Amino acid sequence: MKKQLSIFMLLAAAAVFPGGVSASGNDQNSTWNMEADSTGISQSEQENSIDKADHEKMQKLQEQYEVELIKMQQLRAEYEKELQKMNVNDSDYNSLKEKVDKITLFGFIRAKYDNDDSGSIGAGNNNKHFYMDLEGKMKVSKDWEAHFQSETRKGYTVNQSWRGDSGSGSSDQDGTFQRIWVEGHPGKLGVTVGTKWWGYGFQNVPFGHAADGIQLDYDITKDWNAKVFLLRPRQGDLVTMPYGQDTTIKGVNFTGKLTPKLDTSITLAGNKNYDNNQKMDRMGAFELRSNVAPNLMLTGTYVRTNADDYNTSKECRIDYKGTKLDDIGSFGAYARYINFAKYGDYSHDDEWNSLPSDTKGWIVGVKYVPYKNVEWETFYADQKRNIDTGDDHNATRHLFRTQIDFHF
């Protein structure tokens, strides 16, 4: 039976491979031998032919590789040359960038319109103008910077006097460099010295004025800062104390957090008391500021001097939201109550005569960002002027102001 099966398998193989198979009828071990194909080419000859073709292909690939390698080497050499040029250019660029970064210019241009009561209780046409604030910061070293500020005011009404008697113009906003000062941080100590605008307190009620001076400040903790200052005001007619043009103010300021949501600022100052006039040789100020609700900030200021009469200044302000110059459509609204006695502070910031001394009343206003880096502000004030002194005691003043600032 086994022999019959072997013969059957041989016949089947012969049918599949005609003439190409020989068999020996051994039922224990059947062997297969490929003698030749139908063309008469032996298996070894086929293998030699395939090896020769593969060798030719490999040789062609080797030749192509060597050609491409030469091209790659040439490209690499050209790339290295360009890289060297780029390194030289980068060096030049970095050198230029370092020089450019040493000077930074910024500021804003303002178009401003006032509708103010005329006469002694208002500023008249004085605050209808175009104005530019140009400031510069120049890097001296990693610890020191030099600064300058130039104010230029161009009016578009008849009366162009500014804090002057002649009516011929302003010596304080004439486009020169009115402010020049240096700021440094040697170690943990902050140093500011020169002529600049100085402001103390959250609302600049204790002092907000241009002066020659020096200030040292130090961070006691991450939440508390202490300042020591010595100032000589530049415009004595804006200083409320008698002989303001001759005074030198010295004092300290502490600003920090009482709680995570409650900030405070404390200012103590003194000056030489000429002829014992009004005894304004001491001043103290206390302020609080808090986020009383989401988007709602409340600020209160109380200032007192040792003048014989009219010796307190008070301001309360509430702000809703606020503007961001890079956020188009952002806005803020605010309301302010003021009561500035004639000798209640040394020289608060009068904000272009909207907050003069010897005045009480209120202000409501809004701010809006119509375009990036453009801020528009409008407010209305109802005030009583000369509340403590003057022939026109408690004269009524109404002020409407609108202005648009273009920051750069």
Q: For residue 347, give the DSSP letter.
A: B
Residue 75: is its pLDDT beyond 70?
Answer: yes
Could you identify the residue written with the tokens 């500011």? 192
CATH of 111-123+180-407, one of 1.10.3720.10, 2.40.160.10, 2.40.50.140, 3.40.50.300: 2.40.160.10
Greatest extent of the chain over all pairs of C-alpha atoms, in Å: 147
Cα separation of 361 and 215, whole Å?
33
pLDDT tier at 40 (50, 70, 90 boundaries)? low
Using the CB atoms, write b or e for 55-69: b if 16+ within 10 Å: eeeeeeeeeeeeeee
List, for residues 185-206, the tens digit of each pLDDT value.
999 999 999 999 999 999 999 9
- Cα 56 to chain centroid distance, Å, stands at 70
Distance CA 401, CA 88 (A): 56
Beta-strand (E) ranges in 201-261? 207-219, 224-233, 249-259
* Mean pLDDT value across residues 144-148: 97
Pairing of strands 296-305, 282-293: antiparallel
- As given in the structure block, the two tokens for residue 52 are 């020769």
Strand partners, 199: 208
Q: How far apart are CA 223 and CA 6, in angstroms?
A: 103
Strand duo 174-184 + 359-371: pairing: unpaired
Is there a contact between 383 and 360 (Cβ–Cβ < 8 Å)?
A: yes
From residue 266, alpha-carbon distances to 104, 251, 255, 263 in Å are: 33, 11, 6, 10
**Single pTM value for the model:** 0.74
Express each pLDDT in 84-108 by its tens digit. 777 766 667 777 777 778 899 999 9
DSSP per-residue letters across 47-88? HHHHHHHHHHHHHHHHHHHHHHHHHHHHHHHHHHHHHHHHHH
Confidence of residue 125 (pLDDT cuts 50, 70, 90): confident
| Torsional sign, CA 324, 348, 338, 401 | negative
Q: Which residue has the higher pLDDT, 277 or 135?
A: 135
Please state, rounded to an integer, the average pLDDT across all residues of the chain.
84
Report the pLDDT averaged over residues 290-319: 96
Domain range summary for the chain, segments of one domain joined by +: 111-123+180-407
Find, among 287, 317, 290, the residue nearest to 302 by Cα: 287
Query: pLDDT higher for 173 or 22?
Result: 173
